[in-house]
Amino acid sequence: EVLPGFPHTHRTPPSTKMAALTTTSLTAVSAVRGARSAFAGSRAAFVAAPAMKVSSRASLTVKAQRELWIKDSTVAPAHLDGTLPGDFGFDPLGLGADPQRLKYYQEAELMNARWAMMAVAGITATEVLGIGPAWYDVGAADFDFPPLALLAIQFPVMGILELKRIRGWLDTGKSGVVDQFPWDPMGMNSDGMAVKEIKNGRLAMIAFVGIVVQAIVYREGPVAALKDHVTDPFGCNMASNIMSIPEHLASL
């Protein structure tokens, strides 16, 4: 439409102006949102990832898979985490709660286990082969060697060997002999062999206690006692032997 007295001009329809304004507004909003997303992404790079929560059910599953001295038990002392060879969670008195004492007790158990294994093997072998007197009578035998001379040799030799052993263990944390820690001439040192060694050692310590009590009460070796039980299992067993302890002690 051309008004009188005004030059001819082209007028934009209102609908076109609204469409242009809407387009401009949407573009601005999109730009703002894009800037906010980019800023959020840059912040996320500096924010630590949230820690994963371990459910108590998963923890109980791991404990249940560990072999303990009481079957189906999920409770073990906190200081026995399964890293030691032969660790089955057995420490009812809490003797190993101190980490330093735990290392000492581990080494002491291992040394006693090795002595017990050698003792049980020696006692059984000499009885089977019929070598010398009974093991509990060997101390009373006369070997034509003066006791004072024997002590004069044994004390210094054993003292030096034990001193070197304990110093080597304190320095390396391994058992050894003289200057070799660990002492492994046959190359059998492994985690699996360590577990087998302590298991057999514990059995040997229990066996040695039984052999000693048996010798004190009945004056018999382990092989002879086994033969008696095989010959008369109902008349010679743990229950019957316990009942006859006073009679055997009175006859000594």
Closest CA to 103 of 1, 25, 175, 12: 175
SS3 80: coil
Check whether the bond before 85 is cis (ω within 30° of 0): no
Q: How confident is the model at residue 56 (pLDDT cuts 50, 70, 90)?
A: very low
Q: Indicate if the alpha-carbon torsion angle 180, 185, 189, 195 is positive or negative.
A: negative
**Which residue do the tokens 């089977």 mark?**
128
Torsion angles phi and psi, residue 150, rounded to 5: -60, -45
Residues 90, 92, 98, 103: is their CA dihedral positive or negative?
negative
d(CA 207, CA 117): 9
Cα atoms in the 13 Å half-sphere on the side-chain side of 155: 6
> Is pLDDT at 87 greater than 60 in this prediction?
yes
Q: How confident is the model at residue 117 (pLDDT cuts 50, 70, 90)?
A: very high
pLDDT of 68 reads: 78
Least confident range from 59-73, 101-115, 132-146: namely 59-73
In whole angstroms, what is the distance from residue 23 CA to residue 119 CA? 97
82: left (phi over 0), alpha (psi -120 to 50) or beta: left
What CA–CA distance (Å, rounded) separates 242 from 10? 126
Confidence of residue 153 (pLDDT cuts 50, 70, 90): very high
Confidence bin at 1 (pLDDT 50/70/90): very low
Give the residue, 232 or 64, on which the prediction is more confident.
232
Q: How far apart are CA 8 and CA 129, in angstroms?
A: 136
